[in-house]
Chains A and B, each alone.
Chain A
Amino acid sequence: MPFILNRFLQMLVTLLIMATMVFLAIRLTPGDPAQIFLGDVGSPHQYQSLRELMGLDRPLYVQYAEFLQGLFTADLGESLFDGRPVMDRISRRILPTVTLALTTMVGVVLLGVPLGLLSAAVPGSFLDTVIRMVTYSVQAVANFWLAILLIMFFSIRLRWFPAFGAGGPSHLILPAVSLGIPFLARVVRFVRGGIVEVLDSDFVRTARSKGLSEVVVVTKHAFRVTLIPLITDLGLRLGWLLGGTVIIETVFAWPGLGSLTVEAVRTRDYPLVEGSVLILSAFFLVTNFFIDLSYGLLDPRIRYG
């Protein structure tokens, strides 16, 4: 499978470039980890020995070489502040982030695709107009604002769902809705647009002339055409959901990777920043890799050479 191998190698190269960029970016950001850790007090001697303990006194190329060596042995290094492996800290945060992203994604697809189909079935109908109006307006909603409204209404007023933290499925509802609503609108419009575009084309006319019902024509024939762009978009969005939930994680005190990354940047914990950004990039790349592979499954005309 030379295609798969090729894509896989590309992915590794991209990761390596990412790693180098993160390594440099966080070190070029003003702020000295030892200084931040010690605060404003302590002796010059304590500061020097802390810098040595953290390995910050060594030249940049030595630190970079060590970082690369670590990467090739799947070792993300140790936190500057407690000396514990970065992987330990990150691995506890992966599950909540992935859970939230996937829940949002599944909810959005389960709701968005049928709504899009309904809307497209009779373009211009009353139902279509309502769906479009609602989706256009909610797409403009900032999700952190929506999050706070949801907390006010569902946590404080009705007390149906907890306002913060991770726990049972009930904790997932509000963050997933906050993340999903603006995204849902996008999916509905995507599906509707794709279908309406092809409703007049030859293959749809053929399907209709075979005597197939409108439901079958829309769901089986027209919808299929929108699948590839839809899956591509969903894939990119999933990557975005995995990496871009920082604000929602903060609002809901969700113990995910996003909040860990922000914290790491704030304290300039270099290895922790590098580790979490790398993991997030890896999520993104792997998702896209599988999306590429799924094209062949969705459209038999696509073959990987």
Chain B
Amino acid sequence: MRNQTGCAHCSRLLACATLVVALLVPFLLISTGMSQGSGTLVVAHHEGFATLDVTSSTRRSTLGIARVLLFDPLIMRGSDGSFQPGLATAWRQIDDLTLELDLRQGVAFHDGTPFTAESVKFTIEKLLDPNQRTAQGFLWEGITEVQIIDDFQVRIVTARPFGPLMAHLTLGAMLPPNFDPEVNTTQPNGTGPFRFVSWSPGEELVVEANPDFWGDAPGVERVVFRPIIEDATRIAGVLSGDIHIAFGVPVQLVSVLNATPDVDIARVPSPITQHISLGGDARPPVGGDPRVLQAIDLAIDREALIRDIFQGQAEMPSSIYSPNVFAAHPNLPAKVYDPDQARFLLAEAGYPDGFEAEIWYTAGGELQIADAVVAITQQLADVGIKLNIRVAADWGVGGPIINGRNFDMYYNGWATYTLDPDFYVWANFHPNARNREATDTYEFGPEVVSLVEKGRFSTDPQDRIDAYQRLQEILWENPTRLPVVQPFDLYAVHSDVQGFTPRSSQMWWDLRQATLGN
């Protein structure tokens, strides 16, 4: 008996010991975090990388950060939005269908493979391959062929003249012909200013300065990128000095950061314009009668929204899309707030006592969206329109509601990341767009469609400007979406950092010039 008890003790001791060892193992296996030298820039964003295959995803993390750090496009954008030489040093439109590019010589990929015309052909053909899982197909769909003239000259041929081609090329990344999907989707090999060091999904991406970079050497030795979804934590990282630059500062934390001596806020107009989509003809009374639409437009007090909800971190919308997008109209009449006129128009349209309708938004975005919807509901109640708020749990739920037009009003936004209007107007106002259901039916006046087509199928910049500005005038007067506010993108930047200027397209984190002081 005694002996048996002893044995039970033994086995319990053994069990305890095993448990202790089991607990220690993970400590030993997890590597020891960030090695923050003086030349290491730590940046944080609210989106994780699902993949480092920069030709597959259109996420801001993959396309806007990993691509810009590790790869180069053929054509770049200057900070003023102009087209600048990238891996192509010069380009010319030979005819309406052909763009000829001279390629930069003496450039090598991080593994030493030289960059040549083969890379261009390989990359674009890979993206056009229907067996490629990519969300970037829209960037390249106009292209039919890449012709190699010699090692450093190529021609890109399109089926029809393709106006947005140059803008789309700035979002590309050139891959080496020896690209191996097994290896290079997790260990990218590009020509960019930084080269890949390591990636722990959900935790960090580490890159180091590329000593053989063809352009100016980057200002820091290393960049550590950390995805931190939670706003409060990301900002806490900036306050504690662990993070140098954080994207996505929530408006409600701006005052906290402004009161912190070591942190500055950099801001730039977002490519996203927040608007209310309208259900259209099928959803009266909001749709159908232009007077009702105008009444809603007049009943929204945008200045109050900007002041009280966005706390000054947004502007009055100047057009249907962001002012930094190509051909943005510079002088459309400002939106006015006139509830009396709104009531008058409603009465004229046959709704002297107003009506009831639904307004949707998608949860999970910035807090201001929910607040703005509540505020708009109150503003419209003043003119007799009673809005019932409906919430979609995420975009997966909201998408089918929008595409099926099962709503009266939907508060959302459209990000014109390419900074070319085609990205927005084709998807929303052309009958052949994929989201055909999503496009409104009543704005398809023949003039709208022809202007959308003229913008896409013309390679002459002035023709495109004329077409898009006329289109903006039409859609400003007869809204199918009511632009609400033009928010700013906010970045928290530690005072150690110099030379970081945020870009309006969220697809370009310009860290080349950033340096660390002290």
Contacts and interface: CB of A to CB of B under 8 A. Distances in A.
Given A41-B427, A165-B33, A297-B12, A84 B233 contact: no
Given A31-B395, A95-B26, A268-B396, A167 B33 contact: yes
Nearest to A52: B130
B138 A96 contact: no
Interface stretch (A9-17, A62-70, A99-107): A99-107
**Interface size range of chain A in the complex:** 35 or more
Contact of B141 (A43, A84, A167, A169): A43
B48 interface: yes
Interface residues of B, number: 65
Contacts of A31: 394-397, 399-400
Given A43-B434, A255-B200, A30 B396 contact: yes
B8 interface: yes
Interface string B203-231: 11000000000000000000000111110
B33 A166 contact: yes
A255 B232 contact: no
A255 B133 contact: no
Interface string B377-403: 000000000000000001111011001
A260 B202 CA distance: 8
A37 to B, nearest CB: 5
Interface stretch (B96-104, B235-243, B279-287, B335-343): B235-243
A289 interface: no
Nearest to B57: A81
Contacts of A43: 137-138, 141, 434
A278 B82 CA distance: 50
Interface string B1-25: 0000000100110010001001100
A263 B236 contact: no
B229 A250 contact: yes
Given A44-B434, A49-B130, A38 B240 contact: no
Interface string A78-101: 000111100001001101101100
Interface of B: 8, 11-12, 15, 19, 22-23, 26-27, 29-34, 48, 50-51, 53, 56-58, 130-131, 133, 135, 137-138, 141, 185, 200-204, 226-230, 232-234, 236-237, 239-242, 364, 394-397, 399-400, 403, 414, 423, 426-427, 434-436, 438
23 contacts: A30-B397, A31-B395, A31-B400, A36-B399, A37-B133, A41-B434, A42-B434, A46-B138, A46-B141, A49-B130, A81-B50, A84-B185, A95-B30, A162-B33, A165-B34, A166-B203, A171-B33, A253-B229, A253-B234, A255-B201, A256-B202, A268-B396, A300-B8
Given A46-B138, A46-B434, A164-B242, 12 more contacts: A29-B396, A32-B399, A39-B58, A43-B141, A49-B130, A103-B23, A163-B242, A164-B234, A164-B237, A165-B204, A252-B230, A297-B11
Interface of A: 29-32, 35-44, 46-47, 49-50, 53-54, 81-84, 89, 92-93, 95-96, 98-99, 102-103, 106, 148, 151-152, 155-156, 159, 162-169, 171, 250-253, 255-256, 259-260, 263, 266-268, 297, 300
